[in-house]
Amino acid sequence: MSEKEISSAVIKRLPRYYRYLGELLRNNVDRISSQELSKKMNVTASQIRQDLNNFGGFGQQGYGYNVEYLHTEIAKILGLDQENKLIIVGAGNLGQALANYDFSKKGFRIIGIFDINEEVIGKEIGGLVVQHIDKMKEVVEENGVNMAALTVPKTAAKGIAKSLVEYGIRAFWNFASIDLQLSKEEVVVENVHLAESLMRLSYNVNKQRNKE
């Protein structure tokens, strides 16, 4: 199954399927039809059938999907069955919010949180003590950390990312308002550009306003 190429549009939708299937599991639902799932998720049943057909032989007519099986298969595709080790760089409000968020159920382990601000160094957040950025190299190398969340000002982000690539980080969860253009091809970046998200909201508000 993992050899099959799945389109990026489907991949984009997978985390949402995973979330809904997880909720069904927690509510002890064993099987669900594409129609029922369609109502819950507010997408067409045919879209759901098409998307989930990528994961092979289940979802028989009149029988529905096996929730647990599907949940497990999607987890594998998303790499959630493997442990990802994460550090957070920047212990401001956003970094603290991430540190306090419980990602562990999804296979993510936060190994360390770093800053340069003496006022937060030594502070305990989400069970971790904030360390000086000087300690990053050691922590990354000794623990085989593979991911970094960047919650630093944009002026600092590029330099830090460059160093982290040297230390062995291959994945960035980037919250800085900048595009990281890193030399190594194998480095992956997922951006969360909050200002851009807010502008899209503003666009839709404005469009609605012009309609009225």
Task: Quote the least distance from Cβ 92 to a copy of itself, whole Å.
Answer: 7
Q: Does 144 bind a copy of itself (CB under 8 A)?
A: no
In the complex, minimum distance from the CB of residue 64 to a copy of itself, in angstroms, rounded to a whole number = 21
Residue 186 contacts a copy of itself per CB under 8 A:
yes
Interface residue with a copy of itself, options 55, 65, 114, 173 (CB under 8 A): 173
* φ, ψ dihedrals at 124, nearest 5°: -95, 130
The answer to whether residue 93 forms part of the interface with a copy of itself (CB under 8 A) is yes
Q: How many CA atoms lie within 13 A of 114 on its CB side?
A: 21
Tell me how far apart the 2 most distant CA atoms of the chain are, in Å: 62
Alpha-carbon radius of gyration of the chain: 20
How far apart are CB 127 and a copy of itself at their closest, in Å?
14
For residues 61 and 208, which CB has a smaller minimum distance to a copy of itself in the complex?
A: 208
Task: Name residues contacting a copy of itself, limited to 5-64 (CB under 8 A).
Answer: 11-12, 14-16, 18-19, 41-42
* Stretch touching a copy of itself by CB under 8 A, among 50-58, 60-68, 72-80, 133-141: 72-80
208 belongs to the binding site for a copy of itself (CB under 8 A): yes
Pick one of 44, 50, 53, 100: the residue that binds a copy of itself (CB under 8 A): 100
Applying CB under 8 A, what is the total number of residues that bind a copy of itself? 61
Interface with a copy of itself by CB under 8 A: which residues?
A: 2, 11-12, 14-16, 18-19, 41-42, 77-80, 82, 84, 92-94, 96-98, 100-101, 103, 106-108, 146-147, 170-173, 177, 179, 181, 186, 188, 190, 192-212
